[in-house]
Each structure stands twice: as structure tokens, then as C-alpha cells.
Homo-oligomer: A and B are copies of this chain.
Amino acid sequence: MEVTRLLARYVVSATYESLPADVVHEAKRSLLNWMGVAIGGCRHEAVEIALATVSEFSGPARASVLGRTERLDILHAALINGISSHVFDFDDTHLRTVIHPSGPVAPAVLALAETRPVSGRDLLLAFVLGVEVECRIGNSVYPSHYEQGWHITGTAGVFGAAAAAGKLLGLTEEQMVHALGIAATQAAGLREMFGTHCKPFHPGRAAQNGLLAAHLAARGFTSSTQPIEGRRGFASVMAAERNLAEITDGLGERFEIRYNTYKPFACGIVIHPAIDGCIQLRNEYGLTADQIARIDLRVNPLVLELTGKRAPRVGLEGKFSVFHSVSVAIIDGMAGEAQYSDARVADPAVVALRERVSAAPDAGVAKDECHVTVTLRDGRVLKRHVRHAVGSLERPMSDDELDAKFRGLVAPILPADQTEEVIRLCRSLERLPDSAALVKVAVPRAAKDRT
């Protein structure tokens, strides 16, 4: 079975009209969420270092760094935007494979869209196809590939970037096979790097390398024509067990982007049910911290194993504290990047409330479930049972919630009018004649242009 060729054939022949409406809608949600994390992350140390490094080598400045005024050649812009979008670990997740699908694909297509006219529809199509390719390849090797130690967002992502870029470049089927092959032979990224700058480097490099693969293939650079399924191809070499049928079954009918999810909170997913329950009670009862005598959580045991830090000292430690997370959820009504700053973790009001939070492990509670009991000083007891946390496939974030997440991430970087314009353009992307406009509003106006 010529898996790579069948996949290439589908990518080359697919049209915007063949995409179901819900797939297009999910693609716009994915893109908006991705732009939010990329813009929000654009001042992170990893981005600053990488940008300073590659600026020395950058070619013609044809593409934007989201959220910043620097411009780079399209390969390096794709790298930096890919890094930026993953620094908060707040991007989208294809739960079955734990791939972060947008990270490798979005930077590649947006960079290309700055070099030639790409309609919103063409951009959406290329993006959906890129996500489809990387997630299907991911499905075919998961979980053994991931368990072996590969950061699958990097290894599968490079195929997605190559396919999406190749689609925009108008590759033939034969060229697309080679683009996927040149991608395969660059697939890289180790889980050992988690917790370091190299983690967000992986989607960035996947975007950049996939983009290069498509350009090389467009000019006739050759690879194996069985780069995925060959005896020494990607699947055999990089996964102990694989099911190649995952790559081709139901192509054009089953869309993996339907299974994309978005994190509502800027911390590990295990705390999300507790935060969710607290925000629900806060909003329904108009709770303030001083009303609350105590908060009691019944949680999956993993919550305390991974996030049991009682007295976090800095922002990053706050992400590993269910107590801090629940406290800011009550006080701020949210748990975005801003709630995990050093200042917020040290805030006396937050500290005082978190000391009134207790959590009991219960193996009968699922990972996306939580029982919250809030006891008020006036004696009332409020209870909430969260069966599936917001952001799960069963209870996806609404469009409004995604917009709010976007605003929260982007507020420190873009003026409000630009923020709203990104949302508007992204939400109506299929009607945009030239998607470069979307990138343009994602870059701060130079100081002198500001009112």
C-alpha cells in the first residue's frame, strides 16, 4: 500500500468546497487560538534569544513575527512564530496523540501568505490539510512513538507543515510525495527537552523544515517515494508499533481537526476541572474571597501528584499548585497567563485564600472530573460536580470563551482595536480575499502610528 502517495494525492486534489462547514469553523477556532498564544508568547525569553540569533542570518524580510515589529525571511519567521506559540504550553491539543496541531502548520501557511496572494479559503484549506496530515501520521504511530520519547508535535508536525506549504505552492502529486519525504527525513524532537527552550523549538523547527521541504520539492529535489511506509522509513524507524491504515482510511471524510481542543487555563490540564467548578460557582453566586470560609476539592489522585505545591513562590510554580489555581479562579474569574505571574502568586489576597483550600485525592474521580465544595462564612455550603472540564471534547470552549482567551493573551501586546480586528478577520476568514491582512493586524503598529 503506497501510503505516502495516497496521502499526497488527497492533499493535492482536495478543494475548499470539499470541507464540511464544521471543519472550516473548527479551523478558524484553531487559528484564532493559535494566534493568541503566538502573539501572547512573543516576548518570552526563548523567543527573544532565538530571534536575536537568527536575525544575523535572515534573508529578505518578507514575513512578520506575530506581535512584534521585526520581519524575517519566511523560513525564520515560521521558526520564531512556531516557538512563540508553544512557550506557554497553552496552544491546542489533539487529545488522541497529544500533538499540538497548529504550532507546526499555522506559521508555515501564514508566512507563505505574506509572499503571494492567498485567499482566506486557500489558507483555511491548506491549514486543515496540514493538520489532517500530521494528526493522521501521528495516529499511525501513537502511542509507541511517543512512549519511545519522541515529541510528536515536532516529529509529526513537520509533515503537516510540508503538506500545507506544498498545497499553497501548488505542488504536483509527485512533488508532494517528495515534500513529505524531505519532511520525513527531518523529523526530530526529543521529550527529554521538556521544560527547556527546546520544547517550543520543536513546533518552530517543524514549521520551518516543512516549509523548506515544500520549496525543495517544488524545484525537483528528490526523496524516497515511500518515506513513511518504506522498510527504513519514518514509521518503521521511529515507532515500535504502527498502523498505517490510520493514515489513509476515510481520507476526506473523517477530519482530525474535529478532535482539536483548546486549553481554557494556562496550567496543566489535570487542574482544569477544579478551576472550572470554582469559576462556575463564583459567577453564579457572585462570590468574593472574603465570603469564603473554605474550599474543599475531591480530585483525581494525579492532581496532587502533579500539582500539589502548597506554597508556590514564583509564577511557574503556581502552575503546579492546584491551591493557587483555585484561589485566582475565585478572585479573578480566570486562570490565564496573567494569573501565573510572580506578582499574582505572591499577592496577599491570593495567598490568604489558597490557605483555605484543601484537596482530597479520590481514585473514583476521573481525570477531567472534580467535586467542589465551597463553605461560606455565613454557613451556606455550595457544591458543584464537574463531570467534564471545559476545554474537553465533551464540553468544548465556546467561541465566546475562545475570544476571551484570545483577548487575555493579546492584551499586553496589541492595542484593543487590533485585537478585535484579528478576531473579526479570523472569524470571517473564508471571506477574506488576501489572508496577509490577518497577519498585518497581528503586528503592533509602530509607535509613531499609534494614537
> Whole-angstrom distance between the alpha carbons of A337 and B201 in the complex?
41
Decide yes or no: A223 and B197 within 8 Å by CB, A185-B202, A190-B232, A232-B149 being known contacts. Answer: yes
CB distance from A175 to the nearest CB of B (A): 12
CB distance from A58 to the nearest CB of B (A): 5
What residues on B are CB-neighbors of A56 within 8 Å?
59-60, 215
> Whole-angstrom distance between the alpha carbons of A330 and B162 in the complex?
49
What residues on B are CB-neighbors of A192 within 8 Å?
184-185, 224, 226-227, 230-234, 237
Q: Are A197 and B221 in contact (CB under 8 A)?
A: yes
Q: Are B185 and A216 in contact (CB under 8 A)?
A: no
- A53-68 residues with Cβ-Cβ distance < 8 A to B are 53-54, 56-60
Produce 1/0 per residue, A34-67, CB < 8 A to B: 0000000000011001101110111110000000
- A166-222 residues with Cβ-Cβ distance < 8 A to B are 181-182, 184-193, 195-198, 201-202, 205, 212, 215-216, 218-222
Q: Are B185 and A201 in contact (CB under 8 A)?
A: yes
What residues on B are CB-neighbors of A216 within 8 Å?
49-50, 53
What residues on B are CB-neighbors of A188 within 8 Å?
185-188
Q: Are A185 and B181 in contact (CB under 8 A)?
A: no
> Whole-angstrom distance between the alpha carbons of A193 and B185 in the complex?
8
Decide yes or no: A74 and B57 within 8 Å by CB, A190-B232, A190-B237 being known contacts. Answer: yes
Q: Are B215 and A186 in contact (CB under 8 A)?
A: no
What residues on B are CB-neighbors of A212 within 8 Å?
53-54
The contact size tier of chain A is 35 or more
Question: Any chain B CB within 8 A of the CB of A257?
Answer: no
Q: Are B227 and A193 in contact (CB under 8 A)?
A: yes
Interface centre among A52, A154, A216, A218 (most CB of B within 10 A): A216
Interface centre among A185, A201, A236 (most CB of B within 10 A): A185
Q: Are A237 and B148 in contact (CB under 8 A)?
A: yes
Q: Are A149 and B59 in contact (CB under 8 A)?
A: no
Question: Any chain B CB within 8 A of the CB of A73?
Answer: yes
Produce 1/0 per residue, A60-97, CB < 8 A to B: 10000000000001111000000000000000000000
Question: Any chain B CB within 8 A of the CB of A150?
Answer: yes
> Whole-angstrom distance between the alpha carbons of A223 and B192 in the complex?
9
What residues on B are CB-neighbors of A182 within 8 Å?
198, 201
- A132-184 residues with Cβ-Cβ distance < 8 A to B are 148-151, 154, 181-182, 184
Q: Are B49 and A220 in contact (CB under 8 A)?
A: yes
What residues on B are CB-neighbors of A49 within 8 Å?
216, 219-221
What residues on B are CB-neighbors of A222 within 8 Å?
196-198
Q: Are A53 and B196 in contact (CB under 8 A)?
A: no
CB distance from A193 to the nearest CB of B (A): 5
> Whole-angstrom distance between the alpha carbons of A190 and B46 in the complex?
29
Task: List residues of chain A with CB under 8 Å of any chain B CB.
Answer: 45-46, 49-50, 52-54, 56-60, 73-76, 148-151, 154, 181-182, 184-193, 195-198, 201-202, 205, 212, 215-216, 218-224, 226-227, 230-234, 236-237
A-B contact pairs, 12 of them (CB 8 A): A50-B221, A54-B212, A57-B75, A150-B237, A182-B201, A185-B190, A185-B192, A190-B224, A193-B227, A198-B221, A198-B223, A198-B224
In the A-B complex, list the 4 residue pairs whose CB atoms are closest, starting with the nearest: A149-B232, A149-B237, A192-B232, A191-B232
* Apart from the given pairs A53-B219, A192-B233, A198-B223, 20 other A-B contacts in the complex at a CB distance below 8 Å: A46-B221, A50-B221, A53-B212, A53-B218, A54-B212, A56-B59, A56-B60, A57-B76, A59-B59, A149-B236, A149-B237, A182-B201, A184-B190, A185-B192, A185-B198, A188-B188, A190-B227, A196-B224, A197-B222, A198-B222
